[in-house]
Amino acid sequence: EELDALNALRADGAVLVAVATPSRQASLPGPTFELFQVPSLSGEAAEELVNRMIPSLDDKLVRYIVARAGGLPGLMRAIVERLEGAPVVSVEDVERHLGEVPVPSGVRIEPTEIQRLLERGLFDQAADYLHAYEDDESVTIGLLRAKLATGRGQPRDALEELKRVESALTNDGDEKARWHVEKGRAHLRTGDYDDAETHAGLALTRLGASLLGEVASGNLAAGQSDQAMTAMVSEALAISGIAQSLSARHEQATRTLRRSVDVARGSGDARVLAVALGSLAFALQRNDKLDEAQAANEEALDLAQQAGDAGHVATTRLNLAGIARMRGDVATAIRHLEAAVDMGRRSGRQSTVRQALLNLANLDIYLGRLARAQGSIDALAAERESLGAVQRAQLFALEAEASALSGDFDSAQQKCSACADAYEKLRRPVDAAEALLERVLFEVRDPSPDVPALQETLFRAEALLSDSGAHRPLLLQSRGQVARLAGELDQARAAFDEAIECARQSRQQEWLWRALAARAQLHRERRDDDSAERDRAEALEVLEQIASELPRDLREVYWHEPRRRALVKPRADTTLSPSKRIVDTDIDAPTQLAGMAREDRLARVLEINRAIAGEYDLDRLLDKIADYAIALLYAERGFVLLKSRTGEDRLSVHAARDRHGDDPHARFSRSIAERVVQTGDPFIAVDAGQDDRVSDYVSVHSLMLKSVACVPIRARAGVIGALYLETRMRPGALFNDEIPTLTAFADQSAIAIETARLVNENRERATQLEKTNAELAEAHKKLEELLGRRTEQLQNTRRDLKSAKELLRGHFGYQGIVGTSTAMRKVYAIIDRVKDADVPVLITGESGTGKEVIARAIHNAGARGKQRFVGINCGAIPEHLLESELFGHVRGAFTGADRDKKGLFRELDRGTILLDEIGEMPQKMQAGLLRGLQEKVVRPVGGTREEAVNTRVIAATHRDLAAMVQRSEFREDLFYRLNVIQLRVPALRERLEDIPLLIDHFLRLFAARYKRDKRKVGRDALKRLVDYPWPGNVRQLENVLLNAWILSDEPELGPDDFELPEPRLTGSTTSEGRDKRPSNVDDAQEQEKNKILEALTACNWNRAKAAKMIGMPRRTFYRRLKKYDIQ
């Protein structure tokens, strides 16, 4: 019906203009419309349009939206409108929002889904869904509310919520770990860095010792733990590392954050890794390691986009802006900041938005846009109470900069001090030092600076920086300025020299030109004008390089900043001295070339040629060419037009200038320029409107051109472009006369352009090669560090092993054997004889004398020492298993024999077996052992073949085998086969002089084993130990010492520390007992009871004194009182 109505109107004579898509054209009734196809925008223009509407999109997404809209402005606008306010970081996000059905308010989704939204930085969406849980007071919802508050820049609200749910926490380790992580993150935002680090550590502890062990060793990999737990470990480490960095513990912070990155890489989660890398980049940036920081940030940005984490994309763009700003790349910094503001607003990350606005205001001050910056500062100051503590400190710094630019140095100094105090309260000494150093530079510009106060401020800043390498160029420049004002000019020169070198190495262009300008000022004060001019010229070069990277509309503003404007000295003369730079020419002043002599014009052209020949930055070179061409012909506008290097003839504008600098929006007659490039002939038209050659060119009339001069730029390969000049307000009086000069200048410009291109190509190759070499050097360095650590670990291990061996080694070179008594010397002599003689040895002695230690010493000292040694207790293994254990068995030999077993005799090939307690071996087994000793063969249980063996046999027993042979309890033939060499180990009571050595040995052993300080035994205690008969021999001595060593807290063990049981009557117990022995046990007890009664009577029944009188430990004394019923 609508189409019919429109058609009726047209039939009545109305002119109808319809807008339709191609698919609807066929349905329009009536005569054919006259069709006007709306062309698509060019790729560059379309992408710029989308970028302006959504600054936070990366290049890939911009190209995707342009392609999806077919380059049509209307469709692009429609897509952008659908994406308004939505966080978009991936193609999937674009498609989801374009086809999205609005979710009704009040819908409840699972808390896990809200958690995912928060992890992706979608705070506004998460907040909408959390409204549905308004009455839910559970811990899970409380943790989500805290995470949301922190992400939105409201950490104190987060802390209140966490405090509310603290009492409801369960014993679930993961839940408490999440609580500590959120508490640490909130404290980090409030500036409580110690608390943040503490809670991060508690979270790691809650996650379990086993997982932490894997983290510490760097062995955590995907699949080894739950992904959520891995993410919490990485985030807790990141919080701890950032707190350390903000507390100026840079090296510790870097180590902690690298561990966080290692854990995150093992998790396989792009979002977790992006957060860890972003945190590491933050710490590296604060330590002035800009290259590493930028690489980490760029990787983090890619990962955050892959993971769809809009919040982290905004934060990373903010950090990249900071790095670009430090390097003087203002255009890139602005682009990142605008993207951070846009993405922060879309995701609801208000803290990031505020930080980006602060940084943009800082950039406005840097560029000299004081009015715009002041407006932003006033707006932020109005919200001062809602800003975080760190952002309030940053606002003080901005206010200080603005005051200094306005000439109010007193206010600037006060604001700097307030900024420094704020950072010190936040325990950020590096940032506080930066504020103090800025105050020094502000006060230096004051007409009457207070030098002692400056020195005091500088000293305070140096103390805050301590050993940190941060802000080194700023510190050195401040030192130089203070030394200059104090009249210490040599110290000032040294400080400025070091500041310049430091700024060059760190590629901090802003501080480089400022240090050069400061040194130039020092040279002028010392009347060294040539050096001052060189430094000023170099500072201008740095500024020109920075300005060349700015958008054209910002360059003029950039040069109007007072400090930069003061560096450019205007010229009154029109000729250029070879000692002065061409860039100092004031191109705004009319050039009186008409009145110059021919020689003067030629000198001028030669000087210009020298100036452009030394410029290798292509953008600056082309700007200079246009400026000098305008000055030569006194033109109004000039353009450098170059052909594409891909072979196309299309011209593109590479420099567009007027007599006041950049003219980015100026247009030119493309027809004239293309004619000159195609023919290769110069073109001159003093009155273009009346010139028959171009009178029919539309551009000549639309642009209202008066005079045009265009000459080709010829290189060796042919014409590469054109130099185009024009006037529109008046005829060009010099165009005809100076066309030969302009042609010659264009030829020289072609050489300079080709040279600059070659230099830039070589520079790019050199940069790439340098980057590759740096990567190789870094990889080599890491390998060297790894090798160094491994070598150091190996050396430490060897040293520890050597110490342990020395500790265990006895006095005669046999491990574990201690003693120098005559009895032990006899043992050593026998060991020396039998160690290399491959014969059976029978070791006898009481229990606890160390028979197995002697057997092991024989094995280790002999030719078989590198092979295995195994001891087996013949009495501890049942008879039906002992034969299988020694000789092995074949499969099926008995129930449960499901596979062959070799047995110890065959397994210990060329080794040694100790048959301990040989006297307990069953008679049946003795026959098999005898054959093994005689024939060197054994037969496995159930086997039919005998197997040859090569095993040395050492037997040990505490029984009298000879008596057992007499009683037919032990085979006589086996006894004689074993008893080739008998080695009797003396009892401890037979070598009392070895007890001090044994005590020292065991105390050293305990200290090494339990990693505690070595103790010693007092004189009285030693006497008591020596007097004791030791029925349990060395084993008993070791156990008694260990008991005392563990239970006592004193560095010296006394008599009361040793628990010595009543000895069996195998010998004397004291020196007194050796003279007067009781005849039986009853006599001994009666004698002891009488002795106790006598002591009690003598001490007036003071039990402590009585115990001390008879030399008995107090606890033992009390037991005796109870035993003998003494009341």
Question: What does the pLDDT look like over 539-562, one tens digit per residue?
Answer: 888 888 888 777 766 777 777 777
The region that residue 1087 occupies, defined by phi over 0 for left and psi between -120 and 50 for alpha, beta otherwise, is alpha
pLDDT in tens, 756-777: 888 888 888 888 898 899 899 9
**DSSP class of 650:** -
Are 57 and 25 part of one and the same domain?
no
Domains of the chain: total: 6
Among residues 746, 729, 740, the alpha carbon closest in space to that of 637 is found at 729
Cα separations in angstroms, 24 against 323, 566, 821: 52, 64, 116
pLDDT of res. 604? 63
- 819's enclosing H/E stretch is none
The DSSP output letter for 696 is: T
- Strands in 651-658's sheet, in edge-to-edge order, are 661-662, 651-658, 637-643, 718-727, 707-715, 683-685
1034 found inside a domain: no
Which CATH number is 638's domain given? Answer: 3.30.450.40
Task: In whole angstroms, give the CA distance from residue 604 to residue 264.
Answer: 64
Q: Is the pLDDT at 1127 greater than 80, yes or no?
A: no
Q: What is the mean predicted confidence (pLDDT) over 60-77?
A: 81
Place of tokens 């060119």: 697
In the block, residue with structure tokens 């472009």:
721
pLDDT of residue 578 exceeding 50: no
- Please list, in sequence order, all residues whose beta carbon lies within 8 angstroms of the beta carbon of residue 857, skipping any fewer than 6 positions away: 814, 815, 816, 817, 831
Let me know if residue 13 belongs to a domain.
yes
Per-residue model confidence (pLDDT) at position 573: 37
Same domain, 536 and 622: no
What mean pLDDT is predicted for residues 898-911?
87
Closest CA to 353 of 324, 386, 401: 386
Report percent pLDDT > 90 for the chain: 7
Rounded average pLDDT over 338-365: 82
Determine how many CB atoms are found less than 10 A away from the CB of residue 248: 23
Distance CA 281, CA 546 (A): 24
Question: Cα 566 to the chain's mean position, in Å?
Answer: 42
Q: Is the model's pLDDT at 171 over the cut of 80? A: no
pLDDT at 228 over 80: no
Full-model pTM: 0.45
Better pLDDT: 119 or 762: 762
Percentage, residues of the chain above pLDDT 70: 86
Q: How many CB atoms lie within 10 A of CB 574?
A: 17
The pLDDT tens digits for 845-899 are 998 898 999 999 999 888 888 899 999 998 888 877 888 888 888 888 888 788 8
Residue 923 lies in a domain: yes
Among candidate residues 272, 339, 264, the one with its CA nearest the CA of residue 309: 272
Q: Is 986's pLDDT higher than 90? A: yes
Question: For residue range 492-523, what is the model confidence (pLDDT) as tens digits?
Answer: 999 999 999 988 888 888 889 889 999 998 98
Average pLDDT over residues 26-44: 64
Phi–psi pair at 649, nearest 5 degrees:
-90, -5
Would you say residue 824 has pLDDT above 50?
Answer: yes
Q: Is the dihedral of CA 545, 546, 552, 553 positive or negative?
A: negative
pLDDT at 162 over 50: yes
**Where residue 660 falls among pLDDT bands split at 50, 70, 90?**
low
What does the alpha-carbon distance between residue 605 and residue 335 come to, in Å, rounded to a whole number?
Answer: 40
Answer yes or no: do 52 and 8 share one domain.
no
Q: Residues 886, 850: one domain?
A: yes
Last residue of a domain, one of 567, 595, 627: 567
- Tell me, yes or no, whether 858 and 923 share the same domain: yes
Distance CA 428, CA 173 (A): 32
971 near 920, Cβ under 8 Å?
no
pLDDT given at position 24? 53
531 and 624 belong to one structural domain: no
What's the pLDDT at 795? 87
**Residue 792 belongs to a domain:** no
Handedness of CA 605, 607, 610, 611 (dihedral sign): negative
Q: Could you tell me if 109 and 141 are in contact, meaning their C-beta atoms sit under 8 angstroms apart?
A: no
Rounded CA-CA distance 728/69 in Å is 40
- pLDDT for 805 equals 59
Checking if the pLDDT of 1076 tops 50, the result is no
**pLDDT value at position 937?**
87
Cβ-contact 352, 319 below 8 angstroms: no
Judgement on whether residues 535 and 495 belong to the same structural domain of the protein = yes
- The span from the CA of 577 to the CA of 904, in Å, is 101
Average pLDDT in the 136-150 region?
A: 85
Residue 687 lies in a domain: yes
* H or E segment to which residue 638 belongs: strand 637-643
Domain boundary among 532, 567, 602: 567
The CATH number for 931's domain is 3.40.50.300
* Residue 69 banded pLDDT, cuts 50, 70, 90: confident
- Report residue 1071: phi and psi, to 5°: -65, -30
For residues 737 and 833, membership in a common domain is answered with: no
Give the residue from 390, 392, 357, 388 showing the smallest Cα distance to 372.
357
Pairing assessment for the beta strands 981-984 and 841-844 based on DSSP bridges? parallel
Residue 215 is predicted with a pLDDT of 46
The predicted structure's pLDDT at residue 80 = 81
Q: Tell me, what's the pLDDT at 842?
A: 94
pLDDT beyond 80 at 534: yes
Are residues 693 and 636 part of one domain?
Answer: yes
**pLDDT band at 811, cuts 50/70/90?**
very low
Instruction: Please indicate, yes or no, whether residues 973 and 928 belong to a single structural domain of this protein.
Output: yes
Tokens of 165: 């749910």
Based on the number of CB atoms within 10 Å of its own CB, is 357 exposed (0-12), middle (13-18) or buried (19 or more)? buried
The residue-averaged pLDDT of 1034-1057 equals 88
Distances (CA, A) of 200 to 187, 195, 197, 209, 700: 10, 8, 5, 15, 72
Of all helices (H) and strands (E), which one includes residue 841? strand 841-844
CA terminus-to-terminus distance, the chain: 125
Residue 984: band (very low, low, confident or very high) from pLDDT cuts 50, 70, 90: very high
**What is the arithmetic mean of pLDDT over 829-834?**
89
Query: What is the model's pLDDT at position 34?
Result: 63
Average pLDDT, the chain: 80
Task: Give residue 597's pLDDT.
Answer: 42
- Domain with 1106 in it: what CATH number? 1.10.10.60
Residue 516: per-residue pLDDT? 92
Domain boundary at 765, 781, 803, which? 765
Least confident window among 2-6, 366-370, 1044-1048:
2-6
* Band (579; pLDDT cuts 50, 70, 90): very low
Please give the full DSSP string across 70-134, using - where no structure is assigned. TT-HHHHHHHHHHTTT----SHHHHHHHHTPPPPPTT----HHHHHHHHHTT-HHHHHHHHGGGT
- Residue 862, in any domain of the structure: yes
620: pLDDT confidence band, cut at 50, 70 and 90?
confident
Q: Find the range with the poorest average confidence among 235-239, 489-493, 802-806, 826-830.
A: 802-806
> What is the pLDDT confidence band of residue 221, given thresholds at 50, 70 and 90?
very low
Whether residue 736 sits in one domain with residue 642:
yes
Q: How many CB atoms lie within 10 A of CB 469?
A: 14
pLDDT, average across residues 726-748: 80
Dump pLDDT digits (tens) for 381-414. Answer: 888 887 878 888 888 888 888 888 887 888 888 8
Q: Is residue 445 part of a domain?
A: no
Q: Length of the chain in residues, anyone?
A: 1127
Residues 22 and 51 in one domain: no
* 1088-1108 pLDDT per residue, tens: 888 888 888 888 888 888 888
Looking at the domain assignment, is residue 330 inside a domain? no
- Side chain identity, residue 752: A
Domain of 62 in residue numbering reads as: 43-98
pLDDT above 60 (res 911): yes
**Does position 947 have pLDDT exceeding 70, yes or no?**
yes
